[in-house]
């Protein structure tokens, strides 16, 4: 499995790829119009947007990798296991979420991505804090 150093390396590469997508490919907004739903094959901006939605999860993962890097192995492993499970859930939901609001799904990829990332940050914060205080007996 991944140790602290490897997790930090992978999350930093993912966060760097997200930054490169935003900076160099001219992708300035995490929202799309209906053109991504109906065009076959998808536009370059649609593929770039999907890549941005995928790699944006690595930004908070990198931050929490830095936070847990100096903590005990027990805390890191607890957070890492949660992160793996959450990553698969995140990717599944992002791939099935529509590009735009529909009658059946009252959200789009951008809104869903933002909600999932905020949820990931909040849960990660509480898990790391809980495990830290549990290990230190406070």
* 100 lies in some domain: yes
What residue numbers bound the domain in which 102 lies?
4-133
- Domain count of the chain? 1
Quick check: 49 and 32 in contact, CB under 8 A? yes
Q: What is the pLDDT of residues 60-108, one digit of tens each?
A: 999 988 888 888 888 888 988 999 999 999 989 888 877 666 666 667 7
Q: Residue 138 falls within a domain, yes or no?
A: no
pTM (whole model) above 0.85: no
> Is 90 inside any structural domain?
yes
Range name among 2-11, 15-24, 128-137 with the lowest pLDDT average: 15-24
Q: Quick check: is 83 in a domain?
A: yes
């Amino acid at each position: 499995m991944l140790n602290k150093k490897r997790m930090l390396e992978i999350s930093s590469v993912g966060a760097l790829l997200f930054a490169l997508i935003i900076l160099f490919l001219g992708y300035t907004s995490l929202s799309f119009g209906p053109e991504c739903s109906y065009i076959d094959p998808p536009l370059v901006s649609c593929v770039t947007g999907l890549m941005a939605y995928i790699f944006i999860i690595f930004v908070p993962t990198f931050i929490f990798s830095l936070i847990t890097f100096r903590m005990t192995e027990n805390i890191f492993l607890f957070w890492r296991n949660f992160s793996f499970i959450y990553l698969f859930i995140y990717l599944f939901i992002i791939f099935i979420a529509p590009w735009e609001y529909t009658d059946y799904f009252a959200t789009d990829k951008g809104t869903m991505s933002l909600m999932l990332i905020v949820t990931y940050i909040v849960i990660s914060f509480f898990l790391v804090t809980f495990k830290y205080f549990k290990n230190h007996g406070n």
